[in-house]
C-alpha cells in the first residue's frame, strides 16, 4: 500500500479538518503532520506528499512556505498534491494558489485545488474578528467547505496511483 503524508498549517483548525476529510477518502495509508510541529517525519518513507494551508491577508501561512523551502529537493521527487483554504473570491483564488507554493512544486503537482474555508468566530482573535467583519462583511460563523472539490482531489490522487 502506498503511503501518503498530508502536511498542513492551520490557525483555527479549519485546514486540519479539511486535511482529515481528504485523508479519509484517499486509498493510501495516510499520516498527518502540522507544518509547525517539532515532530520530524522522514519524507523518504512516503510515496505521496500533500501540502495545504490557509490564506490569511493574501498569503499562505509561513509554516507551509518554510516546509516547502526546507524540503524542496525531496518534495520534487515525490508525487504531490497542493491545496489552499480560504474565503477568497474566485477571481483571486487561482493567483493565490500559484503564489502559495514554489513554481517547481506547482508544475510537478498531480493536482492543485482550493478547498474553501470557514469562519469560526468563537475561535478567532479580536483582531481577526474585526478584520473579517470589515473585509468579508461576515459577523458570525460561516462555512464554505467544498466537499466536491476535496472528493475530486482525492479521486485524482487515487486514480493516479491505481493506474
Query: Are the CB atoms for 30 and 20 separated by under 8 Å?
Result: no
In degrees and rounded to multiples of 5, residue 7 shows phi and psi of: -100, 130
For the entire predicted model, the pTM comes to 0.83
Instruction: Report strand pairing: 79-85 vs 116-119.
Output: unpaired
Confidence of residue 152 (pLDDT cuts 50, 70, 90): very high
For 100, list phi and psi in degrees, rounded to 5: -85, -20
Highest mean pLDDT among 17-26, 29-38, 154-163: 17-26
DSSP secondary structure code for residue 44 in this structure: G
Q: What φ, ψ does residue 162 adopt, rounded to 5°?
A: -75, -20
- Rounded to the nearest 10 degrees, the angle between the axes of helix 14-25 and helix 147-162 is 40
Q: Kindly give, in sequence order, each residue whose CB lies less than 8 Å from that of residue 39, ignoring residues fewer than 6 positions away.
A: 33
Spacing of C-alpha 87 from chain mean position: 13
pLDDT tens string 100-127: 999 999 999 999 998 887 656 577 676 6
C-alpha cell at 128: 481577526
- Of 9 and 146, more confident: 9
Burial of 21 (0-12, 13-18, 19+ CB in 10 A): middle
d(CA 58, CA 148) in angstroms, rounded, equals 24
Using DSSP's 3-state secondary structure scheme, residue 59 falls into strand
Q: Of 12-16, 51-55, 119-123, 143-147, which one has max mean pLDDT?
A: 51-55
Task: Give phi and psi for 71, each to the nearest 5.
Answer: -120, 20
Chain-centroid distance, C-alpha 53: 4
Amino acid at each position: 500500500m502506498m503511503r501518503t503524508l498530508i502536511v498542513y498549517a492551520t490557525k483555527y483548525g479549519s485546514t486540519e479538518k479539511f486535511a482529515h476529510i481528504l485523508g479519509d477518502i484517499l486509498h493510501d495509508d495516510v499520516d498527518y503532520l502540522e507544518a509547525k510541529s517539532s515532530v520530524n517525519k522522514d519524507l523518504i518513507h512516503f510515496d505521496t506528499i500533500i501540502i495545504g494551508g490557509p490564506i490569511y491577508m493574501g498569503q499562505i501561512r509561513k509554516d507551509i512556505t518554510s516546509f516547502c523551502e526546507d524540503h524542496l529537493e525531496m518534495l520534487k521527487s515525490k508525487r504531490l498534491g497542493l491545496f489552499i483554504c480560504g474565503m477568497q473570491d474566485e477571481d483571486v483564488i487561482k493567483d493565490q494558489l500559484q503564489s502559495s507554493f514554489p513554481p517547481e512544486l506547482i508544475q510537478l503537482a498531480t493536482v492543485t485545488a482550493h478547498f474553501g474555508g470557514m469562519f469560526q468566530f468563537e475561535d478567532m482573535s479580536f483582531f481577526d474578528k474585526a478584520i473579517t467583519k470589515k473585509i468579508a462583511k461576515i459577523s458570525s460563523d460561516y462555512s464554505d467547505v467544498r466537499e466536491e472539490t476535496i472528493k475530486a482531489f482525492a479521486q485524482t490522487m487515487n486514480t493516479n496511483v491505481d493506474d
